Each structure stands twice: as C-alpha cells, then as structure tokens.
Structure 1
C-alpha cells in the first residue's frame, strides 16, 4: 500500500533542537544580541525565515539576513557531533533500505544543516533525495516541501508515509496528502495524524519485509 517514507529530521531522526537553540544564541552574540531569555523550545519546528521575522526587532538595524543565518549555520555545522540520534532512527532507516523502500528527508532547515545532520547520522547514502528550506518557495507548515518530495520521487502523496514530531510538520504533510505518522517519544497525540507512535521502529510494520 505504501511505497516510500518521508522523514522529518530535527526532533524525528536527530535530537538537534538543543543545538539549534545554542547556535541561534551563539550566532546572535556576534552582534551583541542576548537571547538568553528565550525558552529552549521557542522555535521548535519553525523555519529560519520565520525566526528571522520574529527576532528582527531585537537585531541591529541593517543586519543582513543571509549574514545572520550564515553565522548560526556555521556554529551548528561545527558542533554537529553534539546532536544525538533519536533512538531506533538509524536502525529503522537501514532496515527500510534493506527492504528496498525509497526514503527521503523533508526539512525546514537549510541545506547546510540538513547535510550536517545526515552526515552526523551516517544515513545520507540511504536517502533517495532530500528537501531543504533552500529548495522550496515556502517551508512547513506549507505543503510545498512534501509536494516537491513526492514530485521528485514520482510517487503519489497518498502512497508516502510522512514521519513528523511537530504540529508544523504534520500540518504540512496532511495538506500535501501524505499518510501522516506523529512521533512523540513520550506518548500522546500530535494533532491531525493517521497514526501516533512513540517508537520509530513501528514504521517497519507499514513496510513488511
């Protein structure tokens, strides 16, 4: 029934949110901007274009968005080893690859961060393609990233399983017409999803070997 898996990355495959937060704070310190008052999860699942818009009043007048983002990304890439794989993520990806299931990553992060994360996980070779924020006109919760992934895969959206850990991501996948799995390691529900799970290995049940 299902032909491919579309993985979110941050918070789904790799516990990168602490590093994202640290990189945001470190990058902004380059311009003497102190963001220590922000909660650790202030921008969970939010792409950097929206983070920029939210923080713009606190940043120096005339600061270039690309320069600001480059500073944040540089810190993230340099410290990517500090991001920890989510339990069962790597094993599940490798098992799906062994079963011949096409896999893609659909992320709200930019290309540098996507590549850094997949490098840290050691799973880039198992991905048929990756979609970053740099590859699309709008990020999640807009459905464009998932639609583009399905277009490049040449697979109908309803045949693709999206795995997400945030409402931003599940909204995007739902609007694009994918089968949506909400991943919450602590249990519970994640909005409008077709399946909820607290173990990534449960995805294997949708693709029996």
Structure 2
C-alpha cells in the first residue's frame, strides 16, 4: 500500500488544458502573433515561465513578463466557468481520501490558476497540500515540486505514487525517483517506464493493494 498519491492538476484532475491553450492563443493574437495549429502540443505540460521564454525566442514576443501573465489570466479567468474536474479522477481522489491516503497536488501552473482550478473541481479544503509553480525554483520537468510535496506530506519519495498526463510531468517524476502512472484520459502516450491506467479504479487498487 502506498502512503501518498501526488497528483498533477491540468489534464489529470481538472479538464483545463483546452481552456488554457485558448487563453494563450487569444493573448498571442492580441500581441500580434499568429498561434500555430499545433499550439497545444507545443505547450501542454510546460510552466508559464517556460512558455513565455518559448514565445519570445520562437515568435518574437515583446511583452513584459508581468504584462503577459495578466493578459493570459484575463482570458483564462473569463472562461473559468467552463472548468470541470474529471469525474473518474475526482471520484478516486475522494475514495483514497476516505481510506486515509495522503494526497497533494503538484502543478506547473501558478498559484492563481491552481486555486481557481481546484475550486472548480470541488477539492479545496483546509490543510490541502498544493505545490504551484510559484512555490519552487524550478518547474517540471525538474523534480523539485514532487519532492517538496512528499516532504510536506511527511513521506519518503518511494512511499508515493504520482498521477500524471504529460511527458514533462513524467520526466519530473522519473527525476524524483517516484513511480508514476498516466490517467486514462491523457492525450499523450505514456513514456517508457510509466504505466498507463485503463481506468482510475486501477489506481485505487494499486494504492490500496486491493488487486
């Protein structure tokens, strides 16, 4: 039985990736840039600061970092009413919580986005452990966020299981030395060494050693 489950947020617990990409595309158009058709594939899993650098280097973005984030947030929060948690993932979260399994959320999104998304998913509660991009020096694929979450939960990395949906998150998990699974609703193929779940029930069985 695993003592803790560390969850990615966007695309794993919350159906937010399309909203985030759409907000990014609107912001790019306002800045006079043409979003590529494969924008989602280019940015999913990346942190905001990494995406900013990518846009500066690849598309010639000239906006100040602070101004750019405000512009993106404006479009994102306008669409926040459409945010939803993935029902199967939220159900597994609640069942693991009821079984006494410690859980945390580790995201490449900043604090404002994390709070809005988890509120939309109905997961905000006192004492919830979350690690946003603002809370660490390095975002995914660096392992710092996941290692910090394990520390805050009071468990060792080998006692954890990470639930992810992106290659960047899987790389962070691998670097942290923590076993990782991919949610069945992931849009990305699970990298080598990461087991894709055929259902979220498999996660519950693995964590609770029911299988």
Q: TM-score by structure 2 length?
A: 0.88
Matching residue of 2:183: 183
Matching residue of 1:54: 54
Matching residue of 2:103: 103
Alpha-carbon separation, structure 2, partners of 1:35 and 1:49: 18
Q: Over the residues paired in the alignment, what is the CA RMSD in angstroms? A: 2.3
Alpha-carbon separation, structure 2, partners of 1:34 and 1:191: 31
How far off its partner does 1:183 sit? Answer: 2.2
How far off its partner does 1:151 sit? Answer: 1.4
How far off its partner does 1:208 sit? Answer: 5.1
Structure 2: which 5+ residue stretches go unaligned?
A: none
Matching residue of 2:167: 167
SS at match of 2:191: coil
How far off its partner does 1:107 sit? Answer: 0.5
- Distance verdict in 2 for CA 1:82–1:188, change over 3 Å: closer
How far off its partner does 1:31 sit? Answer: 2.8
Which structure 2 residues correspond to residues 1-16 of structure 1 after superposition, within 5 A? 1-16=1-16
Matching residue of 1:207: 208
Structure 1: which 5+ residue stretches go unaligned?
A: none
SS at match of 1:103: strand
Give a deviation string over 1:91-119, Cα, whole Å, max 9, x none. 11111111111110001111111111101
SS at match of 1:23: helix
Total equivalences in the alignment: 208
8 Å CA contact 1:48, 1:109 repeated in 2: yes
Matching residue of 1:79: 79
8 Å CA contact 2:164, 2:182 repeated in 1: yes
Matching residue of 1:93: 93
How far off its partner does 1:170 sit? Answer: 0.9
Matching residue of 1:67: 67
Alpha-carbon separation, structure 2, partners of 1:46 and 1:112: 16
SS at match of 1:181: strand
Q: TM-score by structure 1 length?
A: 0.89
How far off its partner does 1:54 sit? Answer: 1.1
After alignment, is 152-161 or 50-59 more displaced? 50-59
